[in-house]
Amino acid sequence: MPKFTVAIIGAGLGGLLFALTLQKFAPDVEFHIYESAAQLSEIGAGVNFQPRTWFIIRELGLDQELLQIAGNGERPNMAMVYRKADQKEGYTFHITRDDEAENWTFHRAELQKVFLNNLHAPERIHLGKRFVSYTQPDASTGQIEVQFQDGSTAVCDLLVGADGIKSGVRGAMYTHLEEQARNRGEEDKALLLKSCIPASFSGVVVYRALVKLDRTNGALHGSNLLMYCGKDKHVVAFPIAQGRLLNIASVVTNPALSGTIHEGPWRSRVSREELIEMHKGWEPAVEGILKVCVPVRLAMTTVAYVPTQDVDESGWSKWAIHAVNQLPTFVDGRVALLGDAAHAMTPHQGVGAGQGFEDAYVLGRLLGQPGVALGNIPVPLKMYDEIRRPVAQNVAARSLKSGQLHSFIAPELDAISPNLSASGNGPTKEQLGLVAEMIERVKDWRKGTTVEKDCQAAIQRLHEELGQTSLALDTETAVSSHV
Ligand SMILES: Cc1cc2nc3c(=O)[nH]c(=O)nc-3n(C[C@H](O)[C@H](O)[C@H](O)COP(=O)(O)OP(=O)(O)OC[C@H]3O[C@@H](n4cnc5c(N)ncnc54)[C@H](O)[C@@H]3O)c2cc1C
């Protein structure tokens, strides 16, 4: 008999990792995953994990399997090489220190396949179920009813929205919170809560492709994580799929468009010629990669995603990057948000999925604690919100800053030289040393921190709170029995 049931909306990387955490650390909690897609397939290309994320992978016992499909094989150390590249003769201005360069890179689809294969009860994944809304009773134990687009419903004791950046669960939760504020006569608060529903355009556009690594003809600067920096844009490249493929992205930022409504689709296609034109005058490595590399079309085999032909006629994919506004809460009663639904961020630190995994891991561990039961679900959710929200939102702000630094448009650059962030050429060779220091400082939240520490802090607070709650209940009972 399960202690309670969880409905997870969304079978993306975050939702699946949450299910895997419950499976291992909260076996007495029954979960079901509801996914809108009729079949599961990850879109996008490469994804990069850093040590905080890898810790979770290890805890879930997935590390050995994932090392088989990592871009860098069993060699976790991939230095990040930063080059000033928007000129004919580029040069390296910074390389991350070896002991800070642990990275594991993957093809998303391969990753998703490993996650799915490790779920013991695949029948708990319900495909073709598009979440529309939910009804949460006021009482702390009545079941939550979830409504789907096809007219069907499901019930659960805890609802977790892992349904990505356009999250319907976030929409339903914040509509409810907005209504409550309005009913209390708090119009300003109601407007603020309403503004949390849509994601905002970040002013960043990312052009992505996967190319066969052997097509690069050694044009790259080693098999590292490469960051070719230039004014207003930068190009990131790293190997995935055991070095068979190169994940490449050109990131273009227009800060004036940040927070505006993006006209047009969030994802579209552009030709290779457009990419080449955009990087005219860049160092030969960048121009060279764009010229010789053509996006490959991929197909799933039983073992892995492999290129099926050289040319993907549809060209490069263009992503208008949106981000979720800083939410005042990730939870409401027995409903919680996780992953991109809670904090979709710009991709400049390569940790968006990792932050979703941290949500999933901390929440799953909390729910598995002794003392957590149907009657007190809001208590672990409160701890989850208190521990995870500040971390994820801090990382999101820092990620945005990293992108501005990589594209030499961060206002902080003006401290090096007045109006440097707005000037046409970007920093000089002498100034780039200071830029490198800023780049490292923005990433230093990772130093000396671990997910386990955060998790233990959340668990300790949970037990304190549960102790206090039971004490309060005991006192209440004692008082009422005296009356
Ligand atoms: C260009 C780019 C590069 C990135 N690089 C990295 C990186 O290197 N490292 C890293 O850690 N992160 C990276 N990220 C971030 C990462 O991709 C996301 O944070 C991560 O994929 C989010 O996972 P998720 O499961 O929360 O959401 P999603 O992957 O969006 O999954 C949501 C799931 O919910 C389903 N769904 C949606 N709506 C409904 C509904 N109404 N009902 C039911 N199901 C629904 C969707 O079909 C989907 O399966 C990058 C992002 C971008 C854009």
Q: Examine residue 193 and state whether it is found in any structural domain, yes or no.
A: yes
pLDDT at 314: 56
Probe ligand 1: pick from 21, 35, 129, max atoms within 8 Å of CB? 35
Q: How far is the CA of 46 from the centre of ligand 1 (A)?
A: 12
Cβ–Cβ < 8 Å for 406, 250: no
Q: Is 115 in the pocket of ligand 1 (CB under 6 A)?
A: no
How far lies 20's CA from each of 13, 69, 117, 433, in Å?
A: 11, 19, 10, 43
Region 402-414 average pLDDT: 95
Residue 481 Cα to ligand 1 midpoint, Å, equals: 52
Convert the pLDDT of each residue in 192-207 to its tens digit.
999 999 999 999 999 9
Query: What's the confidence (pLDDT) of residue 201?
Result: 96
> Rounded distance, CA 410 to CA 388, Å?
27
| C-beta 161 within 6 A of ligand 1 | no
DSSP 417-460: STTTTTSSS---HHHHHHHHHHHHHHTGGGTT--HHHHHHHHHH
Give the residue, by CA position, lying nearest to ligand 1 atom 41.
131
| Cα 168 to ligand 1 centroid, rounded to whole Å | 14
Q: How far is ligand 1, taken at its centre, from the CA of residue 385, in Å?
A: 20
Is the CB of 339 inside a 6 Å radius of any atom of ligand 1? Answer: yes
Best mutation site among 103, 163, 253 for ligand 1, i.e. most ligand atoms within 8 A of its Cβ?
A: 163
Q: How much distance in Å is there from the Cα of 267 to the middle of ligand 1?
A: 14
Closest CA to 14 of 398, 456, 361: 361
Mean pLDDT of 233-242: 84
**Average pLDDT of span 9-29:** 97
The pLDDT-based confidence of 220 (bands split at 50, 70, 90) is low
342 Cβ closer than 6 Å to some ligand 1 atom: no
Q: How confident is the model at residue 218 (pLDDT cuts 50, 70, 90)?
A: low
CA distance 446 to 399: 12
Rounded to 5 degrees, what are φ and ψ at 458? -65, -40
Place 44 in a pLDDT band, splitting at 50, 70 and 90: low
Burial class (CB in 10 A: 0-12, 13-18, 19+), 474: exposed
Residue 425 forms part of a structural domain: no
Residue 212 has pLDDT above 80, yes or no: no
37: Cβ below 6 Å to ligand 1?
A: yes
Residue 64 counted as domain residue: yes
Q: Is the CB of 353 under 6 A from ligand 1?
A: yes
Ligand 1: distance of its center to the CA of 233 in Å?
A: 23
125-139, 185-199, 215-229: the lowest-pLDDT one: 215-229
* CATH code of the domain containing 179: 3.50.50.60
pLDDT band per the 50, 70, 90 thresholds, residue 140: confident
- Specify the pLDDT at position 167: 98
How much of the chain exceeds pLDDT 70, in percent? 86
Measured from the CB, is residue 5 less than 6 Å from ligand 1?
A: no
- How many helices (H) and strands (E) the chain has is answered by 13, 21
Ligand 1 within 6 A of CB of 364: no
Please count the structural domains in the chain: 1
Domain membership of residue 53 (yes or no) is yes
Which residue CA neighbors atom 20 of ligand 1 most closely?
A: 353
In tens, the pLDDT along 327-356 reads: 999 999 999 999 999 999 999 998 999 999
Q: Summarize pLDDT for 153-172 with one digit per residue, the tens.
A: 999 999 999 999 999 999 99
Q: What number of residues does the chain have?
A: 483
Q: What percentage of the chain carries pLDDT values higher than 90? A: 67
pLDDT > 70? residue 20: yes
Best residue among 319, 340, 349, 398 to mutate for probing ligand 1's pocket (most ligand atoms within 8 Å of CB) is: 340
What spatial distance separates the first Cα and last Cα of the chain, rounded to whole Å?
Answer: 37
Per-residue pLDDT, 94? 95
pLDDT of 416:
92
Least confident of 246-255, 355-364, 400-409: 246-255
Ligand 1 atom with the smallest distance to the CA of 16 is 25
Q: From the CA of 370, how far away is ligand 1's center (Å)?
A: 31
Å from CA of 164 to ligand 1 middle: 5
For residue 251, being part of any structural domain is answered with yes
Place 473 in a pLDDT band, splitting at 50, 70 and 90.
Answer: very low
What is residue 306's predicted lDDT score, i.e. its pLDDT?
45
Which residue did the predictor score with more confidence, 468 or 173? 173
- Report the nearest atom of ligand 1 relative to the CA of 130: 42
E-strand ranges in 287-396 read: 297-300, 305-309, 316-323, 331-332, 335-337
Identify the three-state secondary structure at position 37.
coil
pLDDT tens, 72-131?
A: 666 666 788 999 999 999 999 999 876 666 788 888 888 999 999 999 999 999 999 999
User: Where does the pLDDT of residue 382 fall: very low under 50, low under 70, confident under 90, or very high at 90 and above?
Assistant: very high
CA 352–ligand 1 middle distance (angstroms): 8
Lowest mean pLDDT among 97-111, 185-199, 278-292, 295-309: 295-309
pLDDT band at 451 (very low <50, low <70, confident <90, very high): very high
Please say whether the beta carbons of 62 and 367 come within 8 A: no
Ligand 1 neighbourhood includes 15 CB (under 6 angstroms): yes
Report how far apart, in Å, the C-alpha atoms of 272 and of each of 209, 235, 282, 293 are: 10, 14, 15, 9
**Higher pLDDT among residues 313 and 94, named by residue:** 94
Domain limits for position 119: 4-404+443-470
Does residue 237 have its Cβ closer than 6 Å to ligand 1?
no
Helix axes 352-367, 51-59, angle to 10 degrees: 40
pLDDT of residue 191: 97
In-domain check, residue 121: yes
Per the domain annotation, does 417 fall within a domain?
no
Under 8 Å between Cβ of 30 and 399: no
Show the DSSP H helices in 196-283 as ranges.
272-278
Q: Taking residues 468-475, what's their average pLDDT?
A: 51
User: To the nearest whole number, what is the mean pLDDT of the chain?
Assistant: 88
Surface-to-core class of residue 356, CB atoms within 10 Å of its CB (0-12 exposed, 13-18 middle, 19+ buried): buried
Confidence grade of residue 477 (pLDDT, cut at 50, 70, 90): very low
Q: Is the pLDDT of residue 481 over 60?
A: no
User: Of 290, 273, 297, which Cα lies nearest the Cα of 215?
Assistant: 290
Confirm or reject: Cβ of 168 under 6 Å from ligand 1: yes
Q: Is the distance from CB of 40 to CB of 73 less than 8 angstroms?
A: no
- Beta bridge partners, 372, equal none
Please indicate whether residue 71, judged by its CB atom, sits closer than 6 Å to ligand 1: no
- Asked if residue 466 belongs to a domain, the reply is yes
Better-predicted residue by pLDDT, 68 or 461? 461
How far apart are the CA of 138 and the centre of ligand 1, in A?
A: 31
**What is the predicted pLDDT for the residue at 99?**
63
**C-alpha 395 to ligand 1 mean position (Å):** 16
